Amino acid sequence: LNINYTSNASSDYIDNDWYIVFSNDDVETKKIMDINITLKGEKKWNTETTVEVHPNGFINGTASSDVNITKIRIRVNDGSWITAWSGVSSEPVSWNYTLNMSNYYPGKCIIYARVVDEKGYVGMVSQESIFYCPLPTINMVHPISGEMIEKTISVSGTASDKVNIIQKMWVKIGSGEWNDTSLETAEEGWNWSYNNLDTTAVNDGEQKIYVKAFNGIMYTVASVEVIVDNNPPDVNILSLSDNDVVSGNIIINGNASDVNRVKKIEIRIDEENWTNVPITSDTSLTWDYH
């Protein structure tokens, strides 16, 4: 006598009495007997994957199962599941996926990876990692460091980012307001420019031009030091006044100053030729002419 019984519960009825009932239309016979029950569960198998997370958002691993693999998905923290691989494979699957780092902030995070087999069984693993977002690189082509500038100038250069797309750039001089630059894709990175930087908004002398770039996650700022020169030097004649009467040989003296250094002093009478006056200081000086 063979008896087949299937139950969804692994311990269903094991501790209860079992009966075999023989009956016909008129007579029922019942006998209690001892029987041995052997439960045969469905064969177990392993469906699993490894996961390796790189700081720049590159994620890879190897998935395996005793049955066909159909899908591998990943998730960052509590975000949505992203399909990293799909198909049907009876062999281990080497998979990888590169995250769009503009969607994630640098810092600590948890990466989940799960593999699904053809029977719907899921194997999942997680790994704590740290995302690192490289800063954009800014190069200023014009003006160069130490260049003397005046009035309204054009500022230009290049920018690059190894991971993300530079979304916006700005430029300013000194403590002024940021101005949006134009931004064009180049063969390697981006070209940027701004054609209306007003240097008269700052004092003469050493000033810094700042350029800022944003890659969707982080900002970076670069600067170049220039010399602003919008105003002439101050010069005064001290030994003479208007309408003084002079004759013969005279001594003329005075002073001159400029934040950007006095480089040359010349003197003349009426429409005569200019004559150079020796100077001994390049910032603020007293001069005389015999």
Mean pLDDT computed over 151-170: 91
Torsion angle in degrees (nearest 10) through CA of 139, 143, 144, 148: -160
Q: What amino acid occupies position 28?
A: E
pLDDT at 239 over 90: no
| Cross-strand partners of 148 | 227
Mean pLDDT value of segment 151-157: 96
Domains 47-131 and 137-228 share a fold: yes
Q: Domain 47-131, what fold?
A: Immunoglobulin-like (2.60.40)
Residue 10 has pLDDT above 60, yes or no: no
Long-range pairs for 284-289: beta carbons < 8 A, 24 or more residues apart: 284/255, 284/256, 284/257, 285/255, 285/256, 285/257, 286/238, 286/253, 286/254, 286/255, 287/253, 287/254, 287/255, 287/256, 288/239, 288/251, 288/252, 288/253, 288/254, 289/251, 289/252, 289/253
The arithmetic mean of pLDDT across residues 268-279, rounded, is: 84
Count Cβ atoms below 10 Å from residue 282 Cβ, excluding itself.
12
Rg of the chain (C-alpha set)? 42
The H or E element containing residue 83 is: strand 82-89
Name which of 81-90, 173-182, 246-255 the model is least confident about. Answer: 246-255
CATH code of the domain occupying 137-228: 2.60.40.650
pLDDT tens track for 95-117:
999 988 777 777 788 999 999 99
pTM over 0.85, yes/no: no
- What confidence score (pLDDT) does residue 267 get? 85
Q: What integer is the mean pLDDT of 123-135?
A: 84
Q: Residue 286 is which amino acid? A: T
The percent of residues above 70 in pLDDT, for the chain, comes to 80
By CB atoms closer than 10 A (0-12, 13-18, 19+), residue 99 is buried
Q: Is the pLDDT of residue 30 over 80?
A: no
Q: Is the pLDDT of residue 152 over 80?
A: yes
- Domain regions of the chain by residue span: 47-131, 137-228, 234-289
d(CA 179, CA 103): 26
Q: What is the spatial distance between Cα 225 and Cα 127, in angstroms, rounded to a whole number?
A: 46
Q: Beta partners for 210?
A: 172, 223
Look up residue 171 and give its amino acid: V
**Closest to 139 in 3D by CA, of 29, 199, 220:** 220
